[in-house]
Amino acid sequence: MSEVSVLSAARQRGAMPLRGRSYMAFALTPDPPIADWLEGLDAWLRGSSGFFAGRPVVLDLSAVTLTSAAIGHLISELGTRGVRIMGLEGVAAEKLGPGLPPLVSGGRPAPAEAIAARSQPTPPQERAPASLLVESAVRSGQAIFHPDGDVTVLGSVGSGAEVIAGGSIHIYGTLRGRAMAGTSGNRKARIFCQHLEAELLAIDGYYRTAEDLDMELQGRPVQAWLANETLFIAEIDR
């Protein structure tokens, strides 16, 4: 086990703030012959499959002598076993081509339990269909993309702007741009807007452009829903 320092780079040229940060990672140390070592790893993984999934692993090559191609091969072999290598240790820098993970150094040993606890992959939680609230207007050229749930826009959605939601879309201003609801296959999603001047409405891929919209609905508060593979649009009765 070792500790690895990684530099995290943030945007902007020139004034780029570079911050160091250290992380805990597992270190795998293959010993020759590699084929036997891989077999041993396989045997161990049969007992604890998925152990390395989502965990940072550093490959310590100090015990073996490998060519650049062999390193690449080993990394891809590990990849097929669900082990993703984030860095290499104990190998000459010249051997590292652009396709290989970067060289890390200065690692310190750490107890395996500590790192297993720290790097515990977060369990895939049941994500509630979180809704997204947009308090301003969505301007032309902007896109609101929220594949996980509903989107509510308090302002207007400008011509040339788009709102894409996995769930339903609620627009309290004027909808002049595009609204696409239920994009992740949710046919029960709906689109609501206070004032319809939309360029396009779509639910789960079924769409209507401005041309196909009933002129009577222009400027009206409407809802759109999907039934029998047809997109219906009607004024909201108040």
Partner 1 sequence: MGKVIVVTSGKGGVGKTTSTAALGAALARMGHNVVVVDFDVGLRNLDLVMGAERRVVFDLINVVQGVAKLTQALIRDKRLETLYLLPASQTRDKDALTEEGIARVIYDLRSRFDWVICDSPAGIERGATLAMRYADEAVIVTNPEVSSVRDSDRIIGLLDSKTEKAERGDRMAKHLLIARFDPGRAARGEMLNIQDVLEILSIPLLGVIPESEEVLRASNLGAPITICGQQSAPAHAYMDAARRLAGEEIEMLIPTEKQGLFAKIFGRRAA
Does position 137 interact with partner 1 (CB under 8 A)? The reply is yes
Least distance between partner 1 and beta carbon 13 (Å): 8
Window 27 to 86, contacts with partner 1 (CB under 8 A): none
Which range in 9-17, 76-84, 121-129, 179-187 contacts partner 1 by CB under 8 A?
A: 9-17
Taking the C-alpha atoms of residue 69 and residue 66, their distance in angstroms, rounded to an integer, is: 8
Query: E-assigned strands of 118-229?
Result: 132-134, 143-146, 151-153, 162-165, 169-175, 178-181, 191-196, 200-203, 206-209, 222-227
| SS3 call for 78 | helix
Q: How many residues bind partner 1 (CB under 8 A)?
A: 17
Which range in 36-44, 54-62, 111-119, 140-148 contacts partner 1 by CB under 8 A?
A: 140-148
Interaction pattern, residues 143-182, with partner 1; x per rule: CB under 8 A: ------------xx-xxxx------------x-x------
Least distance between partner 1 and beta carbon 136 (Å): 7
Considering beta carbons, is residue 5 or 136 the nearer one to partner 1?
136
Least distance between partner 1 and beta carbon 160 (Å): 6
Considering beta carbons, is residue 197 or 204 the nearer one to partner 1?
197
Q: Confirm if 176 and 197 have CB atoms less than 8 A apart.
A: yes
Considering beta carbons, is residue 129 or 141 the nearer one to partner 1?
141
Considering beta carbons, is residue 84 or 220 the nearer one to partner 1?
220
Which range in 48-56, 58-66, 114-122, 139-147 contacts partner 1 by CB under 8 A?
A: 139-147
Least distance between partner 1 and beta carbon 135 (Å): 12
User: Please, how many CA atoms are within 13 Å of residue 31, restricted to the half-sphere of its CB?
Assistant: 1
Beta bridge partners of 164: 145, 180
Distances 166 to 56, 144, 153 between C-alpha atoms, Å: 31, 11, 15
Which range in 50-58, 94-102, 132-140, 226-234 contacts partner 1 by CB under 8 A?
A: 132-140
Q: Confirm if 85 and 100 have CB atoms less than 8 A apart.
A: no
| Amino acid sitting at position 114 | A
Does position 221 interact with partner 1 (CB under 8 A)? The reply is no
Considering beta carbons, is residue 19 or 127 the nearer one to partner 1?
19
Task: Output the six-digit token pair for 20.
Answer: 């160091």
Which residues have a Cβ under 8 Å from the Cβ of 33 and sit 6 or more positions away?
none
How many residues are given for the chain? 238
Q: Confirm if 191 and 208 have CB atoms less than 8 A apart.
A: no
Taking the C-alpha atoms of residue 140 and residue 199, their distance in angstroms, rounded to an integer, is: 12
Residue ranges that bind partner 1, judged by CB under 8 A: 13-15, 136-137, 139-142, 155-156, 158-161, 174, 176
